[in-house]
Structure 1
Amino acid sequence: MAILKGHRCLPVSPYRQFSINFSLSFHSLPSSSPSDQNPPNETLISSVVSILREQRSKSRWNFIKSLYPDGFSPTEVSQIIIHIRNNPRLALQFFLWSEKSLCTHDLLSYSTIIHVLARARLKSLAQSLIQTAIRLSEINNFDDPDISSKPPKIFETLVKTYRSCDSAPFVFDLLIRACLQSRKIDRATAIVWLLRSRGIYPTISTCNLLIRSVSQLKGCDAGFAFYKEIFGFDDEIRSKLRVTVRPNVQTFNTLMLSFYQDGRMEKVEELWVEMVKFNCSPNVFSYSALMAAFCDEGKITEALKLWEEMRKKQVEPDVTAYNTLICGFCKNGQMERAEQFFRDMTLSEIEATCLTYEHLIKGYCEIGDIDSTVLLYKDMCRKDFRPEASTIDKVVRVICGRGRVNEGLGFLRDVMKRQDFFPSITSYELLIRALCKEGKMEEALQLQLEMVGKGFQPNSEIYGCFIEGYREQGNEEKARDLMKEMLDIGL
């Protein structure tokens, strides 16, 4: 009978080609681009505008519909919206109302209402309509092989209607952000190069969002290359364009975090130096990023110097800054210093997080202090924090390593009971190995059955523990059966 069984990145620079061919100008294009062959009915436009302005009740909608049951063309809707653009919410009401049965909107009417909403800084409403307009433009262009790297069609229409709607460049920030929300990074960057060829730049917040998106989707090197291009640090770009936007502390924080997450600590330090050259004052996030880089490299002294510099410059540390240094001390086994910062944190009325406790617990595990580990875990439970499975694995490992397997098993049971915790297979492996080493084969088998009940199948490590345990007891027959079973199932 079976004993155990069954139981990198794409280059950003190609987008420059768009700026070479871009000929759209806000001052040379006509103020609008009619979407209908028939000219708009000026009398109709004047009449509807008058009704919208003068009638305040809901009856105006029925009145307009009774006068014009055949509805309106997109150009007429566009002209009506332009006339009432100083009342953007009324303009939006009219746009949405006419969409129901009186007008099939096209990119012209969408562009007009988008301009009006952007001009009024009604960001979320404008972005929602931009998303719809992008989808509308793609319905008829889905077979275009280059659609994913071109600006959406709405971009050109927004440019053409820019002057007539008395708009502002902020509308293009909203378009870029809408593309980024849809993870259309190539389309967003194409818009940037097209605008920049006309001397128009996104706001610094949009630039930072672009850099973060490029870094996340294409890697930190691509994000850094984009940073150099957009701010004109590329020699070729500097010679052709007058860059009017400069990086700020958020720009450098975005890049530092990206390189830190990629393990490129030297680049984090380089960006810190570059940030200082630009006279950007580091904030608490900047200090935390560089301190984390130093701590990960074991340079705890350099991290402490940064901490002192931060306090001298009266940059107040937050929970991330404290957690960063606490983690650094724990990794270096300096638990007294870690506890000191933990106390300072409490005195500063900064609430510890689950991560704070996990750093401390792992630190005490590293030096084998089981009692302090268990006390911290209990304190963690009182604050209703849920530990990560990797943290529990470390605690079980250190308890079993001290030969206190029953205590380790009790600890795991307590975690599962208190936190509705689902353990990892690692904790089961550690406990089964310890039980087999002590010759408690029946208890090990019961734990293995529990493990299978949780959905974990025995692996070669588990089989090895039982085989070794039975051999230590002199039970070669069971050891051979398990070896055969293990080979039969391909382990």
Structure 2
Amino acid sequence: MATQILILKRFPITTKPLSLSFSYSSSSEDVVETAICILTHNRSKSRWTTLHSLYPNGFSPIQFSRIALGIKNKPHLALHFFQWTKSKSLCNHNLHSYSTIIHLLARARLKTHAQEAITVAIRASLNHEHSSLDSPPLKLFEHLIKTYRLCDSAPFVFDLLIRSCLESNKLEPSIQIVRMLMSRGNIPKVCTLNSLLSRVCKLQGFDAGHGIYREFFGLVEVNDKILKRGFGFRVSPNAHTYNVLMLRCYQDGLMRKVEEIWNEMGTSNCAPNAYSYTLLMAAFCDEGRMVDAERLWEEMENKKMELDVVCYNTIIGGFCKIGDVGRAEEFFTKMQLGGIDSTNATYEHFVKAYCSVGDVDSAVLVYNDMCRMGFRPCASILDMMVVLLCDKCRVEEAIEFLGNAVCRYDLVPKEKSYEVLIKGLCSEGKMEKALKLQAEMVGIGHHQPNLEIYSAFVDGYTRQGKDEMAESLRKEMVQTQMQSFRK
């Protein structure tokens, strides 16, 4: 009750109470009283038939609001009445009637239904009366403020409005609503602010997100950019707040910024969770700072945090990236002993690592295990394997490998894969196979042969003594080169 009184004080009502803003005729009063009586005393089936027969033309939005308020202690009945008037087109609902039912549903903690009503009201507000506020969400916000006291509503109704705006991709109205709430001394829940922060980071980038974070969590700079919470703010950022910022930094390649946000989280006395550690660990791994990554791993173990498959894949990928496959295998073994199943990413890390160190047999072995486990390799894995097999003079094996992967997984190899295969076949004198592969390459949409491929064919025919064919290809190569220069 104290919370209710507090928020009422924070929303100054600039208009007279709505119950006094309209004059009702005695007939309108009779309609409201009769409808309330029927709804509360008749049986569930007969009440709707009786109402429809008595009021075939339905109710005005003001009448609906007063009837709904009359049964506000029966929120499910009020919801049913609202749905019935909409399905039978018995009320031309406006923002006043929508606001009433939204408040009653929020008051009763029927959050899902309240949010659905908010979404419908935002759409409907496009066709109703104009306001000093332009966008539909802001029009609804204005009406919710006006009807808040009358409906004895709950503060989180505005959190529901903000969430509905975000789900409808209405970012700017969401930001404006938060600002207007804060100007009245009311701060949305931290989970609502986090959702808004996440959307800003996703659509506008880290800098915009960090600005919103500082504004909405009341942070100000003091003493060499150390952030402190401003006076009067009741909501502190939590681990998810910082995770949103660190994730955006990581996705934007701002690895040092990830560490800065982590340090900022420490100065605010906010305890990081497992996902926070994983994000910082991923940043360290991407920069090859594996000593720092292992230090984080040890901290997680000491704190008895759950080390899930994402954590394992992160550190395995880090060691694979720097070519320390042995250390990656140690974590893979620990992962298996812990009963954690591998994922597609686990196998991809190892295939890429073995390819980078030139261990083709291990790469093939892991690739086959990957396929046997039902995982689908990506096109980059296929290209790396083809190049490595050709480098080891295993061209026929590479062609078979490529054919199976394309047939089984419908992958499209890059032009580089065809180039190394054609060069390998030409060096072995298998010109017919090379021509067939070159036709296949053009057939799937790759460009005409480049200079590397032309040179491979010329060299191949020259070694076979087919000088006329080689000379013809030389002329074609020169002509193709001249055409590309003209373009």
Instruction: Please tell me whether the aligned partners of residues 365 and 398 of structure 1 are also in contact (alpha carbons under 8 angstroms).
Output: yes
Q: How far, CA to CA, are the matches of 2:229 and 2:266 in structure 1? A: 24
Which residue does 2:233 correspond to in 1? 243
Which deviates the most, 354-363 or 127-136? 127-136
1:35, CA displacement in angstroms? 9.3
Which of 302, 321, 335 is 1:331 aligned to?
321
Percent of aligned positions with the same letter in both sequences? 48
Partner of 1:175: 161
Kept in 2: contact 1:199–1:241 (CA 8 A): no
| Residue pairs, 1:283-302, within 5 angstroms | 283-302=273-292
Question: Aligned to 2:433, what secondary structure does the other structure show?
Answer: helix
Residue of structure 2 in register with 1:264 after alignment: 254
Unpaired runs of 5+ residues, structure 2, are 1-8, 463-469
The one-letter code of the counterpart of 1:169 is: P
The answer to whether the Cα contact below 8 Å between 2:242 and 2:261 also exists between their aligned partners in 1 is yes
If the length of structure 2 is used for normalisation, what is the TM-score?
0.88
**Match in the other structure for 1:458:** 447
Q: CA offset at residue 302 of structure 1?
A: 0.6
* 1:381 and 2:376 are equivalent in the alignment: no
Whether the aligned pair in 2 keeps the contact of 1:35 and 1:106 (CA below 8 Å) is no
Q: Verify the 8 A CA contact 2:220 2:230 in the aligned structure 1.
A: no
**Which deviations, in whole Å up to 9, do the C-alpha atoms of 1:254-311 show, x marking residues without a partner?**
1111111111111111111111222222111111111111111111001001100110
Which secondary structure does the structure 2 equivalent of 1:41 belong to?
A: helix
Structure-2 change in CA distance of 1:344 and 1:94 (3 Å): same
Q: Determine whether 1:353 maps to 2:340.
A: no
Contact 1:291 1:306 in 2 (8 A): yes
Question: Partner of 1:88 in structure 2?
Answer: 75
Please give the alpha-carbon distance, in whole angstroms, between the structure 1 residues aligned to 2:21 and 2:55.
20
- 2:34 aligned residue (47, 69, 79): 47
Q: Aligned partners of 2:95, 2:108: CA distance in 1, in Å? A: 20
Give how far 1:194 is off.
0.2
Distance 2:16 2:429 in 1: 89
Q: Secondary structure at the match of 2:44?
A: coil
Cα distance, 1:161 vs structure 2 = 0.8
Output the amino acid matched with 1:301: V
The separation in 1 between residues aligned to 2:138 and 2:288, in whole angstroms, is: 48
* Structure 2 counterparts to residues 131-170 of structure 1, below 5 A: 131-139=119-127, 147=134, 151-170=137-156
Letter in 2 for 1:269: E
CA RMSD for the aligned pairs? 2.7
Q: Is the 8 Å Cα contact of residues 122 and 137 (structure 2) preserved in structure 1?
A: no
In structure 2, what is the Cα distance between the partners aligned to 1:33 and 1:269? 56
Cα distance 1:291–1:240, how it changes in 2: closer, same or farther (>3 A)?
closer
Give 1:71's aligned residue.
58
- TM-score computed with the length of structure 1 as normaliser: 0.88
Taking a change above 3 Å as real, the CA distance of residues 414 and 174 of structure 1, as seen in their structure-2 partners, is same
Query: Aligned residue pairs: how many?
Result: 464
AA at the equivalent of 2:435? L
SS of residue in 2 equivalent to 1:358? helix
Matched ranges for 1:343-422 at <5 A: 343-422=333-412
Instruction: Answer whether contact 1:432 1:447 (CA < 8 A) is retained.
Output: yes
CA contact (8 A) 1:436 1:465 kept: no
Q: Distance in 1 between matches of 2:151 and 2:220?
A: 35
How far has the Cα of 1:33 moved from its partner? 7.4
Counterpart of 1:386 in 2: which secondary structure? coil
The worse-fitting range, judged by mean Cα deviation, of 462-471 and 432-441 is: 432-441
How big is the shift at 1:27? Answer: 5.1
Matched AA of 2:291: T
Which amino acid is 2:453 matched to? F
1:105 aligned to 2:107?
Answer: no
Greater relative contact order (Cα < 8 A, sep 6+) = 1
